[in-house]
Amino acid sequence: MPFDYIPPLFKKSSAKIVLLVMDGLGGLPMQAGGDTELETAQTPNMDRLAAEGTLGQTIPIRPGVTPGSGPAHLALFGYDPIQYEIGRGVLEAFGIGLHVGKGEVAARGNFATLDAQGNITDRRAGRIPTEESKPIVEKLKQIKIPGIEIDVEVVKEYRFALVLRGPGLSSEIHDTDPQKTGVPPLPAEAYVESARHTAELVNQWIKAAHEAIKDEPKANGLTLRGFSTDPELPTFKDSYDLTAACVAVYPMYKGVSKLVGMQVLKFSGDQPADEFAAVKAAWNDFDFFFVHIKKTDSMGEDGNFAGKVGIIESVDAALPGLLELKPDVLIITGDHSTPCLLRSHSWHPVPFLLWAPSSVRPDTQTRFGERFCAAGGFGTIPALDTIPLALAHAQRLIKFGA
Amino acid sequence: MPFDYIPPLFKKSSAKIVLLVMDGLGGLPMQAGGDTELETAQTPNMDRLAAEGTLGQTIPIRPGVTPGSGPAHLALFGYDPIQYEIGRGVLEAFGIGLHVGKGEVAARGNFATLDAQGNITDRRAGRIPTEESKPIVEKLKQIKIPGIEIDVEVVKEYRFALVLRGPGLSSEIHDTDPQKTGVPPLPAEAYVESARHTAELVNQWIKAAHEAIKDEPKANGLTLRGFSTDPELPTFKDSYDLTAACVAVYPMYKGVSKLVGMQVLKFSGDQPADEFAAVKAAWNDFDFFFVHIKKTDSMGEDGNFAGKVGIIESVDAALPGLLELKPDVLIITGDHSTPCLLRSHSWHPVPFLLWAPSSVRPDTQTRFGERFCAAGGFGTIPALDTIPLALAHAQRLIKFGA
């Protein structure tokens, strides 16, 4: 259980919580003396919530650690990613909607380019676009290995996910990626005796796969990494007594939500207003809504400052559609920072806004932005505190002790 | 390893980090409504760095705990002194440049005054000055015990360090200091069977030592405390992938740096400018420079407010010599507070300034000082976070997870 002391405090309640995550929200000024993306954006709705609510900034994993999207979301959900280690293969598979159940094994695949001697010349097959890798993955789908079921799906560009299902499988298998060029891919090797059978099956599959793609100009080889199985995380319901829904456009975030037992809602459209409409449609069926906005992160990775500002402003503009549902607690935050300046995820603290009309304590801040959050009423807190704070402000917990 | 999750994140980089520690930097106003030493000092260079960088304040060990110099530096280096207990004997020995290797045993010695019955009348031998204890320690150096090598050196005033080297030694020996007067020093006593041999050797040495100094007017007895051996700390290189250099004037700080595998640089002079020149001379040979300024602490212990202000201003004046090297990350902080008002180390949080031109997030603060640091962008953080934050801002870490 993420917080052993929380379940004994559960209180029956119909209070509703919305966790609105703008991926990679945190930013940096593009030059000394400037403002960040969020500080630059015109956000009258969020500023009002900031004035009425409490601000803070969160540390996603640990100070100085730049999180990947999977670990960052697990932390937001209260599952310490240092404690709950989740394999790369499982995250990748869940991310594209492939389920990995107990005893099933997932791996992340990379297409690679091999020379005539079978040595790797490019570990990412020239970063072939998704459209090119799709038909290659179709060839891989034809491969059958007696005794097991196999799922293969494209993830993005040169990446794919592989899931094996069958009796007696183990994930304790080394990566086949040698992490360098000029050498061939490694065979799958078990690091415990009980995984030898699985390693043999994987090697059969690798052999057949290399045969199937040998004439591809770029993706004529592959490596497998992050063999892993279902981490069997405690569910949101058990951990927080919340029936939880996920509203997200991208598969990765749906996958992480499923890992903790959220129900992934189907809806059409991919704009903030569409996502808020999906929340509205399911409003009576859940206690908790995780709403994920992807494009803040994409713009950050592209170094598109104006684009990221625009996405934040579009979320703000759509916000009245969420507020009219009268959530008891609304948290607006990110999973990590993706400053346009760095064009990548970063370790910087993440802006955090909690609004709860019937229970929140106001601080001195009146605008939503990094430097206001750093001076906010919550101070600097671990992202892990997010759900406990949401539960408290929703008044869904009784007191601890007499 | 101080942070198990850091080594898997190492990224090759030539980015350079400088950790500038003004010992006992934190202070207090001398009267209500006044400014602290740092707030009083004119520090135009540090104020500019404060405006461009992020401020915070660090808790050296735990809230309310006043640290000694050894533990405070270990914490700054990321080694939690509550977790990594390092014997007083080892710290004392390293502090004066005596090495304590694996299987070797160090103890801290105190001269004491004994009466005619051999009972202690003064546990610190009237705090005799270093000049008086030096010739007494020379007598102790003459003592030979078959089968072991012995090093004895003056530390300061009535204190000395003893190091034993030889086969089969153990440090699991009780202090011989009875912690009160009117009783004789205790014999060395093993607290495990395997240390009995060492205890016997120590008792032989104590007997010979008392014989050698029996005619001294004040220092005619001694006690031994803090028996300990090499803690075998993980090195800075293994822990952070940093080749690290120490630039310090006082032996204690060189000792702690050696304990974590830093290379201690030799240089002439003892002024801030001399220390910065030493950094410059070795700039191409290391990734990380720990620069230690002692006199802020000495002035604090003397209650010399103007003197401490002056030392801080002299560091600020010399700072351009460090900045011209263009460090990627510069942290300016203390190891603990030594307010002139208290004339001693204290538990107060320590001012912390991180400047990193290509990656730091500005906060609302524009001056370096305790109250500005308390409102800074990092908030209040453990001193243990120092090196992870430095690594992150130097962009020497990859992201955690996908």
Q: How far is CA B312 from CA B24, B45, B299, B368, in A?
A: 11, 11, 10, 11
Per-residue pLDDT, A252: 84
Q: A70, B401: Cβ pair inside 8 Å? A: yes
Q: A28, B402: Cβ pair inside 8 Å? A: no
Per-residue confidence band for A75, with pLDDT thresholds at 50, 70 and 90: very high
Q: Which residues, at least 6 apart from B266, have a Cβ–Cβ distance to it below 8 Å?
A: none
Judged against a pLDDT cut of 80, whether residue B210 lies above it is answered with yes
Judged against a pLDDT cut of 70, whether residue A297 lies above it is answered with yes
Per-residue pLDDT, B305: 98
Which of B361, B385, B399 lies closest to A345 in CB terms?
Answer: B399
Judged against a pLDDT cut of 90, whether residue B73 lies above it is answered with yes
Per-residue confidence band for B92, with pLDDT thresholds at 50, 70 and 90: confident
Per-residue pLDDT, A33: 87
Token reading at A252: 């990765």
Per-residue pLDDT, A340: 98
Q: What is the dihedral of CA A247, A252, A253, A257, to 10 degrees?
A: 100
Of the candidates B55, B99, B89, B42, which has an alpha carbon nearest to the alpha carbon of residue B349? B55
Q: B388, A63: Cβ pair inside 8 Å? A: yes
Average pLDDT, chain B: 96
CA pair distance A326, B35, nearest whole angstrom: 48
Per-residue pLDDT, A41: 98
Q: B5, A65: Cβ pair inside 8 Å? A: yes
CA pair distance B87, B90, nearest whole angstrom: 5
Q: How far is CA B335 from CA B68, B168, B292, B330, B393, in A?
A: 9, 37, 10, 15, 20
Q: B397, A348: Cβ pair inside 8 Å? A: no
Average pLDDT of span B179-195: 96
Average pLDDT of span A315-335: 98
Shortest CA gap B310–chain A (Å): 30
Q: Do residues A161 and A155 make contact, with C-beta atoms less than 8 angstroms apart?
A: yes
Residues of A in contact with B5 (CB under 8 A): 61-62, 65, 82
Residues of A in contact with B359 (CB under 8 A): 28, 341-342, 346
Q: B388, A64: Cβ pair inside 8 Å? A: yes
Shortest CA gap A372–chain B (Å): 8
Q: B379, A57: Cβ pair inside 8 Å? A: yes
Average pLDDT of span B133-147: 96
CA pair distance A79, A18, nearest whole angstrom: 18
Of the candidates A90, A108, A67, A81, which has an alpha carbon nearest to the alpha carbon of residue A255? A90
Shortest CA gap B401–chain A (Å): 5
CA pair distance B330, A67, nearest whole angstrom: 24
CA pair distance A342, B248, nearest whole angstrom: 35
Which of B3, B380, B400 lies closest to A71 in CB terms?
Answer: B400
Which of A67, A71, A371 lies closest to B364 in CB terms?
Answer: A371
Per-residue pLDDT, A179: 86
Per-residue pLDDT, B280: 98
C-alpha triplet B36, B39, B43: angle, nearest 5° = 140
Q: B378, A379: Cβ pair inside 8 Å? A: no
Residues of A in contact with B361 (CB under 8 A): 28, 36, 348-349, 370
DSSP strand pairing (A329-333 vs A350-355): antiparallel
Q: pLDDT tens digits for A77-108?
A: 999 999 988 888 998 898 788 889 889 999 99
Per-residue pLDDT, A95: 78
Per-residue pLDDT, B85: 82
Which of B362, B377, B392 lies closest to A66 in CB terms?
Answer: B392
Site from A31, A39, A62, A343 to mutate, B interface, most B CB atoms within 10 angstroms: A62
Per-residue pLDDT, A96: 84
Q: Do residues B51 and B43 make contact, with C-beta atoms less than 8 angstroms apart?
A: no
Shortest CA gap B379–chain A (Å): 6
Per-residue confidence band for A284, with pLDDT thresholds at 50, 70 and 90: very high
Q: Do residues B396 and B13 make contact, with C-beta atoms less than 8 angstroms apart?
A: yes
Q: Burial, A382: exposed, middle or buried (Cβ in 10 Å; 0-12, 13-18, 19+)?
A: middle
Average pLDDT of span B163-179: 96
Q: A68, B399: Cβ pair inside 8 Å? A: yes
Q: pLDDT tens digits for B267-323?
A: 999 999 999 999 999 999 999 999 999 999 999 999 999 999 999 999 999 999 999
Which of A68, A348, A375 lies closest to B400 in CB terms?
Answer: A68
Q: A346, B364: Cβ pair inside 8 Å? A: no
**Assembly ipTM:** 0.87
Residues of B in contact with A32 (CB under 8 A): 52, 357, 362
Which of B389, B398, B402 lies closest to A92 in CB terms?
Answer: B402
Q: What is the pTM of this model?
A: 0.89
Q: B359, A28: Cβ pair inside 8 Å? A: yes
Residues of B in contact with A57 (CB under 8 A): 379
Residues of B in contact with A70 (CB under 8 A): 401-402
Shortest CA gap A370–chain B (Å): 8
Q: A88, B380: Cβ pair inside 8 Å? A: no
Shortest CA gap B311–chain A (Å): 30
Q: Do residues B53 and B41 make contact, with C-beta atoms less than 8 angstroms apart?
A: no
Per-residue pLDDT, B402: 66
